[in-house]
């Protein structure tokens, strides 16, 4: 397990990532962390369950910021890793292709078995769990939402929760060495 602290404007969230069962997904997330690509982004979606108040998921990351994106990688879905979407699970959101992910992730509040792979449904790539800061996740889940289209209708956070920075707590950071284009100041 490798722990990462995600410092947000709603409080810190610490996640433990399963490098053994989900090595590619964990490596992808750590590349975003080690490069600082998640710093200054936000939690922008809060999907609340209508049937069970206080449950659902929050989604954050780079959204569609092409300056921060790393190459997509194949999803390690739950049928490959055995990691299920239980309460406090961190998982990758899908990228433009249903078979790949990039720099967006979500955290569950309550069990979310509908996110697990099953016959005829690919599911998502769970790769760890929250080990501290579920109170911050629940605060984010409770903020006012609206807007959005399709599956995200009514779920977009009206005042996104800022991700101040994400930092690896275990092991040695391994930045990708790719340009940090989002940090460049435009010429005047």
- pLDDT, tens only, 43-96: 999 999 988 888 999 999 999 898 999 988 888 999 999 999 999 999 998 766
pLDDT of residue 175: 94
Residue 31 near residue 24 (C-beta atoms within 8 A)? no
- Average pLDDT along the chain: 93
Which comes out higher in pLDDT, residue 106 or 51? 106
Inter-residue contact 104 to 61 (CB < 8 Å): yes
Residue 100 has pLDDT above 80, yes or no: no
Reported confidence tier of residue 187, pLDDT bands at 50, 70, 90? low
Q: What was the pLDDT predicted at 183?
A: 85
The position carrying tokens 């990691």 is 83
What pLDDT is recorded for position 51? 87
- Tens digits of per-residue pLDDT, 125-175? 999 999 999 999 999 999 999 998 888 888 999 999 999 999 999 999 999
Buried b or exposed e, range 132-163, using 16+ CB within 10 angstroms: ebbebbbbbbbeebeeeeeeeeebbbeebbbb
Is 99's pLDDT higher than 80? no
**In the block, which residue shows the tokens 């579920």?**
134
CA dihedral angle for residue 37, residue 59, residue 93, residue 12, rounded to 10 degrees:
50
Q: pLDDT category, 98, cuts 50, 70, 90?
A: low
Determine the pLDDT at residue 61. 96
| Res 94: pLDDT | 79
Closest-CA residue to 30 (of 9, 42, 15)? 15
Q: How far apart are CA 128 and CA 168, in angstroms?
A: 14
Q: How far is it, in rounded angstroms, from Cα 129 to Cα 120?
A: 26
């Amino acid at each position: 397990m490798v722990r990462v602290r995600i410092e947000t404007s709603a409080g810190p969230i610490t996640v433990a990532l399963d490098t053994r069962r989900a090595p590619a997904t964990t490596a992808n997330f750590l590349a975003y962390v080690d490069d600082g690509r998640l710093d200054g982004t936000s939690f922008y979606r809060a999907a609340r369950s209508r049937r069970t108040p206080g449950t659902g998921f929050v989604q954050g990351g780079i959204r569609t910021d092409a300056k921060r994106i790393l190459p997509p990688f194949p999803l390690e879905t739950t049928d490959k890793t055995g990691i299920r979407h239980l309460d406090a699970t961190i998982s990758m959101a899908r990228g433009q292709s249903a078979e790949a992910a990039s720099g967006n992730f979500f955290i569950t509040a309550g069990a979310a078995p509908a996110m697990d792979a099953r016959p005829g449904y690919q599911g998502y790539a769970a790769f760890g769990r929250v080990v501290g800061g579920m109170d911050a996740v629940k605060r984010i889940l409770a903020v006012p939402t609206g807007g959005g289209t399709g599956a995200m209708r009514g779920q977009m956070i009206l005042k996104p929760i800022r991700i101040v920075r994400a930092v690896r707590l275990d092991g040695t950071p391994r930045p990708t060495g790719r340009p940090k284009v989002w940090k460049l100041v435009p010429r005047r």
